[in-house]
Amino acid sequence: MPSISSSATASLDDLEADIRRRNPGEPEFHQAVHEVLETLGPVLDSRPELREAKMIERIAEPERQLIFRVPWQDDRGEIHVNRGFRVEFNSALGPYKGGLRFHPSVNLGIVKFLAFEQIFKNALTGLGIGAGKGGSDFDPRGRTDTEVMRFCQSFMTELHRHLGEHTDVPAGDIGVGGREIGFLFGQYRRITNRWEAGVLTGKGTGWGGSHVRPEATGYGNVLFTAEMLKVRGEQLAGQQVSVSGSGNVALYTVEKAQELGAHVRTVSDSTGYVVDDKGIDLPLLKQIKEAERGRVSDYASRRGASARFVPGGSVWEVPTDVALPSATQNELTADDAAALVSNGVKAVSEGANMPTTPAAVRILREAGVAFGPGKAANAGGVATSALEMRQNAARDSWSAPRVEEELAQVMRAVHDTAYETAARYGRPGDYVTGANIAGFERVADAMLAQGLI
């Protein structure tokens, strides 16, 4: 392993301190920045031109941050005022690309962390997309379709002026599914008088959307995991797999893992987790979560003797070969990582954004566990969004098998890029370092080429 010069370490420490000072009260953003900066020392040593160009300072500062008022009226006539956000972080490689999240927890720090992660994730795909993220503290749960429509129309009335297929292309995220994308697109079309299909991704397949987009993040994470095991001389078939969450990403993680021959035993939600010794019955789980919007406890009660519901606790207590966190940020703690290692876990791969705490990542990496960071492992979602943009640009629609094959090619390339970059910088098997450096170099090289802007 090459040593990192003391000057590079000191420089990175000073940079991080300055970023924290300039962005107070944003712990998730601080965490995301730290996770990247702690791996970039070798790049600063081998490529001093990047330090001279203040490349890290430039990448860590968003190109544009938008905050706006979103007034709307509910079905009873009561007026509500929410706050909307869009952080357009980096456009060196292409138009800003990243999802919109509607959830009460959304604030500027959350959006910035997500957008910062998106820079490196999108660069790793090699598909010519920049990075942005947005959303609102609006909660669509419990709201009627007409209330959600009014909110989305108000949100898009302000945001539309910053969007365009060559400028900024949002997609869905937590709380923003096909319904919300439809309302947002309709309002954009009404205001602009343009059928600009490429301005939003995650659309319905009947009006410009791509097959496999709902499945893509979960599918991609499983494909990445399979590649990590492959270079270690193993395969996913026959492995015991634990999945956290039971939303869109988790459901399609289960689906693809089962398709590749894995035995998936767990899912979870905010109330607890389920262990199913026979393996998760995916049709039943989809019926409960997608059609009935029920809880995993409902799954356990209807599945029979093979399944048991554990209220509270951590799904990572369950012994497993492969762990796929697919719920939310910072869900897998140091104690969880220690339990997984003690139980012999071979691979952990992030389906959610930053679901593993820094302390947990250190424990897993030091134990030699294959660890797939989210910016690489869950790049399948944004990759398929970029494939949707490609179809829109050509006024074309690809078959589901073609999209799946394109996705598989992208995920293999993402894995190989991270793996080979880690080896090139003396950290073989370290996907965190490999993904961070590979994404950083792609963006930095484009920024150098385009001048000081």
pLDDT in tens, 301-329: 999 999 999 999 899 999 999 999 999 88
pTM of the entire structure?
0.93
Q: Say if residues 258 and 282 touch (Cβ distance below 8 Å).
A: yes
Neighbours of 311 (CB within 10 A): 8
User: Residues 168, 268: one domain?
Assistant: no
97 in a known ligand binding site: yes
- Residue 1, pLDDT > 60, answer no
Residue 4 has a pLDDT of 58
Domain extent at residue 132: 64-197
User: Residues 164, 247: one domain?
Assistant: no
Query: Is beta strand 96-102 parallel, antiparallel or unpaired with respect to 131-136?
Result: parallel
Q: Say if residues 342 and 349 touch (Cβ distance below 8 Å).
A: no
User: Residues 145, 293: one domain?
Assistant: no
Comparison of pLDDT for 171 and 7, the residue scoring more:
171
271 in a known ligand binding site: no
Q: Say if residues 96 and 131 touch (Cβ distance below 8 Å).
A: yes
CA within 13 Å, CB half, 366: 10
Six token digits for residue 65: 């941050």
Last residue of a domain, one of 197, 225, 259: 197
378 in a known ligand binding site: no
Residue 443 has a pLDDT of 98
Burial of 324: CB neighbours in 10 Å, binned 0-12, 13-18, 19+: buried
**Is position 22 within any domain?**
no
User: Residues 234, 351: one domain?
Assistant: yes
Tens-digit pLDDT profile for residues 344-387: 999 999 999 889 999 999 999 999 999 999 999 999 999 999 99
- Residue 244, pLDDT > 80, answer yes
Residue 313 has a pLDDT of 87
Last residue of a domain, one of 134, 162, 197: 197
User: Residues 180, 278: one domain?
Assistant: no
User: Residues 185, 240: one domain?
Assistant: no
Residue 110 has a pLDDT of 95
- Residue 335, pLDDT > 70, answer yes
The answer to which of 4-13, 229-238, 419-428 has the lowest mean pLDDT is 4-13
User: Residues 362, 224: one domain?
Assistant: yes
**Is position 158 within any domain?**
yes
The answer to whether 203 is a known catalytic residue is no
Which candidate, 218, 186, 222, places its Cα nearest to that of 203?
A: 186
Q: What pairs with residue 88 in β-bridges? A: 64, 132
Which candidate, 290, 291, 292, 266, places its Cα nearest to that of 280?
A: 266
172 in a known ligand binding site: yes
* Whole-angstrom distance, CA of residue 190 vs CA of residue 188: 5
The backbone region for 193, taken as left when phi is positive above 0, alpha when psi lies in -120 to 50, beta otherwise, is: left
Task: Report the number of distinct structural domains present in the chain.
Answer: 2
Q: What is the mean pLDDT of residues 193-217?
A: 96
- For the chain, percent of residues with pLDDT exceeding 70: 98
Neighbours of 96 (CB within 10 A): 29
* Whole-angstrom distance, CA of residue 234 vs CA of residue 436: 25
Active-site choice (54, 112, 133, 375): 133
Strand, coil or helix: 313: coil
**Is position 108 within any domain?**
yes
Q: What is the CATH number of the domain that holds 281?
A: 3.40.50.720
Question: Residue 8: which pLDDT band, with cuts at 50, 70 and 90?
Answer: low
Which candidate, 117, 186, 116, places its Cα nearest to that of 150?
A: 186
* Site of tokens 């960071």: 373
User: Residues 325, 245: one domain?
Assistant: yes
User: Residues 223, 364: one domain?
Assistant: yes
Strand segments, DSSP code E, in 236-367 are: 240-243, 263-269, 272-276, 307-311, 322-324, 347-349
Last residue of a domain, one of 351, 372, 393: 372
Q: Specify the amino acid at residue 220.
A: G
121 in a known ligand binding site: yes
